[in-house]
Amino acid sequence: MYDNAWPYPLEYDREEIINADVLVLGGGVAGCMAAIAAARAGQKVLLVEKGATKRSGAGGSGCDHWESAATNPCSKVTPEELTQAMLHDNDGFNNGISHYIECREGYDRLLDIEKMGGKIRDTEDEFVGADFRDDETKLMFAYDYENKFTLRIWGTTFKPAMHKELRRLGVQILDRVMVTSLLTEKGAQGGRCVGATGIHTRTGKFYIFNAKSSIICMSRPARVWLFSAELPGLCEFRPTQCIGDGHAMGWRAGAEFTMMEKSVRAEFSASGRSYPPYGAGNNHNTWYAASIIDSRGKEIPYADRDGNILNDVKDRFRPAKGQKFFMKGGGIDFPKYEIEGPETLSFSKMMEEGYKLPFYADLTTLPEEERRVIWGMMVGQEGKTNVPIYRNYTKEGFDPAKHVLQCYGTGWTSASFLPQERQLFGLPGGFFNDWTLSTNIQGLYVAGDALYASDCYGHAAATGYYAGRHAAKYALSNDLLQWDRQQVDKEKVRVYAPLKNDPHSSIGWKELNMAIAKTMQNYCGEVKYDDLLKVGLVRLKEYEENIIPQTFAYNPHELVRLLEVFDILTVSQIIIEASLARKISVDALYFKRGDAIEDESSKDKLIVIKQHEGEIIKREVSVDFFGDLKENYEKYNQDYIRGDRS
Amino acid sequence: MKEMPAANPIIFDKSKCMGCNRCMEICQVDIFLPNPEKGKPPIVAYPGECWYCGCCVMECPVEGAIELQHPLMNRVHWIEKRLLIEQGNE
Ligand SMILES: Cc1cc2nc3c(=O)[nH]c(=O)nc-3n(C[C@H](O)[C@H](O)[C@H](O)COP(=O)(O)OP(=O)(O)OC[C@H]3O[C@@H](n4cnc5c(N)ncnc54)[C@H](O)[C@@H]3O)c2cc1C
Ligand code: SF4
Ligand code: SF4
């Protein structure tokens, strides 16, 4: 531990009040784009970010592919086709509204980002003539080269470009402040949102934000089942400080959530069971379509969805016979036949056929431009790859024309997890939304990975901008309401309480996080039982009532880490409540029940839950509650379609 | 008394670093603290919390002043394909 004196001034209990029209909570991809949209609509915008906006969030260090840009000039699929495919792939358990927005407006946002200074096409003509490049527009595509709806992009340039645009537009950016709670009209749960509170991560100062409308852009929960006290920054896929604060404060304020019972067996956790994402041998995402060889150098063939072996590398980028298009990327884990793309043989099949472990990713035999686009563009632009993988491996002598990179575990994730080690991954649950991306709480909007069934950069950018537009519209027609002193005072007591305890007999943030993770693995693991879930809830309640009052933090930094764990505790409670509410197994939600409760009525239903004065209130809505996609989108967005500046 | 951390993600080259703190200001996890001595590299106060994103290195104006390295257990292996085939045939 750091043992010098704290280098920043300590300002615990000091208050600062900031007013705005639109308040953006979280400055990742969605938050930046939301703030830009609201500022362009003429609103006074305040953006509050826990880290440093220029590079914060899951996509801050980069991203290499932009999915579902169905309206780009080369695309051969429509937004409707793509969204329908995404819905079908999940038996309807997907966010039709947000993914339609992604498909319909994603390409507009790319053009926007290009204007801000981001690089979205091969302007240096490095890949002229390559199959994945359209030589007229210089746009570059990934995966399905015939249908051209997923773009390869230079994502390391994006966040700094957005940051510059925010400053140009005069958005007030407040970095290093953790948002801790939402403020509601008269302090009532479920009442209109009138702002939020925050705490400075270096000084401990208290903030009161007062706004006409607010947008939650704080991504999704993590560290619920997975924790490492030694390397907490590596125990999840997402950034250390992104653990679901937004969900916790939304729940406390009475917001509705859905699909929170969905979790998958963990895929990435580099502190233990997995090797660095995109930095080990694999053939997915960034590394598609690398060849995979066994340890004698024998190549493992790719096959199409019907099992036909693909001998030509070019066939890895084409749909199968009779297939219109195929999908790959973030939200696609186990694709249905309709959209299933080329893939190497399954692990069990490879073992059966006598391939010798371990396997390796082999770029040496790929066409030169395919090798160069994977190693140097994709690896290099993808999040967390530029420095620790591309630069470092190169420095250590890795040459993609000569070397092959070892695979670990049994799949593309370079990992093997236990069934109870779970993650909110691959379209997990989140805030429930309507066609304006509003929550059930008036004046509270939501965007990016905080939305239910959300994933990906383009989705975050598109929904961020969309929510920014609608929140601006709300701010234009509603007054600024006064916040409630009592609600603020209560929050101040909550956030500063741990400072008053004795460090020698108290519990720190890591100990509490570890206990929650173990509790969740034990009571809310792969297979759910009512009896176990209920006991799990009791355990969490005990932590809330008996353990939280015994916690301690040495300084504002640790206080923030501790407040995060309090939020992880709340998120765990949401997950157990949602699991209790779902009485039957649902494959699309990876939700498995061990106790047979015969009630099929919720089979095609989203279970929407919220909390009101300690009671859980649930309702069921049909998975396709959003109605006709095109028709409803156009109903709510005539001004955008007309090109109004709002 | 001191304890070795589970990993040392960040290595500074003291002879190159000018102590501008740009790496510190970009880190979204805020694992650094300013050095009490002006002109010296920041202090890696919370090494375990590092997300290994590399933004600190990307932000540094001085080539080689700061390096990021994966923990030993996450350092992966590669081999010349020619050698792999030779070994496989032995
Ligand atoms: C390594 C990696 C590579 C990826 N590559 C791709 C890719 O190539 N293509 C793709 O489509 N997708 C990719 N993704 C996913 C994509 O980056 C995310 O889906 C997207 O960034 C989500 O945007 P967001 O704004 O919702 O969340 P984020 O960008 O994560 O932003 C959330 C922000 O909220 C802030 N925050 C959290 N809590 C608080 C609080 N209490 N107070 C204030 N601020 C808070 C965080 O600091 C953060 O800046 C990748 C993700 C990772 C991790
Ligand atoms: S690699 Fe990322 S998380 Fe680690 S110190 Fe650098 S900026 Fe911070
Ligand atoms: S950015 Fe570079 S030069 Fe500046 S303090 Fe960090 S390591 Fe030193």
Residue range A614-642, pLDDT digits in tens: 999 999 999 999 999 999 999 999 999 99
Residues from chain B contacting residue A388 (CB–CB below 8 Å): 52, 54, 68-70
Average pLDDT of the residues of chain A:
95
- Confidence category of residue A646, pLDDT binned at 50, 70, 90: very low
Which pLDDT score, from 0 to 100, does residue A601 have?
76
Mean pLDDT for A14-25 is 98
Enumerate residues 6+ apart whose C-beta is below 8 A from A272. A226, A228, A235
Q: Between residues A542 and A354, which one has the greater pLDDT?
A: A542
Please give the backbone phi and psi of residue A353, each rounded to the nearest 5 degrees, phi first: -85, 5
Q: Cβ neighbours of residue A229 under 8 Å, at least 6 residues apart?
A: A510, A511, A513, A514, B48
* Cβ-defined contact of B28 to A296 (cutoff 8 Å): no
How much is the pLDDT for A625? Answer: 98
In whole angstroms, give the CA distance from residue A487 to residue A191. Answer: 12
For residue B16, what is the DSSP state?
Answer: T
Please give the pLDDT value at position A1: 47
CATH number for position B24: 3.30.70.20
Whether residue A55 lies within 8 A of chain B, CB to CB, comes out as yes
Would you state the pLDDT for residue A412?
Answer: 60
| Ligand that lies nearest to the alpha carbon of residue A384, given by its number in the listed order | 1
Identify the residues whose C-beta falls under 6 Å from ligand 3. Answer: B 12, 17-23, 41-42, 60, 62, 65-66
- Maximum C-alpha span of chain A: 71
What pLDDT was estimated at residue A3?
Answer: 60
**pLDDT surpasses 70 at A525:** yes
Alpha-carbon gap, residue A468 to A223, rounded angstroms: 29
- pLDDT value at residue A502: 92
> Is pLDDT of A613 > 80?
yes
Complete DSSP assignment for A193-252: EEEEEEEETTT--EEEEEEEEEEE------SSS---SS-GGGSSSS-TT-S-HHHHHHHH
Q: Which domain holds residue B26?
A: 10-88
Q: What is the pLDDT of residue A634?
A: 98
Q: Is the peptide bond before A358 cis (omega within 30 degrees of 0)?
A: yes
Question: What is the pLDDT averaged over residues A563-577?
Answer: 98
* Smallest CA–CA distance from B52 into chain A, residue: A384
With CB atoms and an 8 Å threshold, state whether A388 touches B69: yes
> Cβ–Cβ of A408/B79 closer than 8 Å?
no
State how far the Cα of A433 lies from the Cα of A446, in Å rounded to an integer. Answer: 7
Task: Work out the angle at residue A571's Cα, subtended by the Cα atoms of residues A602 and A277, and round it to the nearest 5 degrees.
Answer: 95
For residue A415, give the DSSP letter.
B
Q: What mean pLDDT comes out for the span A309-324?
A: 97
H helices then E strands: how many in chain B? 3, 5
Asked whether A177 and A50 are in contact (CB, 8 A), the reply is: yes
pLDDT (average), residues A404-430 = 88
How far is Cα A562 from Cα A128, in angstroms, rounded to an integer? 52
How does pLDDT run across A48-98, given as a tens digit for each residue? 999 999 999 999 999 999 999 999 999 999 999 999 999 999 999 999 999
Of A57, A201, A404, the CB nearest to B84: A404
Which residue's alpha carbon is at the smallest distance from atom 6 of ligand 3? B23
Q: What's the pTM?
A: 0.98
The first and second tokens of residue B9, run together, are 């993600």
Quote the minimal CA–CA distance from B39 to chain A in Å. Answer: 15
- What is the reported pLDDT for A267? 85
- Return the residue matching tokens 């099992």: A307
Q: What is the pLDDT of residue A413?
A: 63
| Selected residue of A29, A61, A402 to mutate for chain B interface (largest B Cβ count, 10 A) | A61
Q: Measure the CA–CA gap between A36 and A112, rounded to whole angstroms.
A: 10
Q: Which ligand is nearest to the CA of A242?
A: 1
What average pLDDT does this structure show over A150-157?
Answer: 98
- Nearest chain A Cα distance for residue B19, angstroms: 15
For residue A573, is pLDDT > 70?
yes
Question: How far is Cα A77 from Cα A297, in angstroms, rounded to an integer?
Answer: 38
State the smallest CA–CA distance between residue A367 and chain B in angstroms. 16
Residue A411's pLDDT band (cuts 50, 70, 90): low
Has residue B73 been placed in a domain? yes
Q: Is the pLDDT of residue A213 over 70?
A: yes
B83 within a domain of the structure (yes/no)? yes
Residues of A in contact with B22 (CB under 8 A): none
pLDDT digits (tens, 9 = 90+) for A584-599: 999 999 999 999 776 7
A252 burial (CB, 10 Å; 0-12 / 13-18 / 19+) is middle
Residue ranges per domain, chain A? 291-406
Stretch A235-258: mean pLDDT, rounded?
A: 97
pLDDT at A303 > cutoff 90: yes
φ, ψ (nearest 5 deg) of residue A74: -100, -10
Calculate how far, in angstroms, residue A176's C-alpha sits from the geometric centre of ligand 3. 19
Tell me: pLDDT of A129 over 90.
Answer: yes
pLDDT (tens digit, 9 = 90+) per residue, A440-477?
999 999 999 999 999 999 999 999 999 999 999 999 99
* Count of the separate structural domains present in chain B: 1
pLDDT band for position A645 (cuts 50, 70, 90): low
- Tell whether B1 is covered by a domain: no
The answer to whether residue B2 is domain-embedded is no
Res A270 pLDDT > 80: no
Mean pLDDT of A296-320: 96
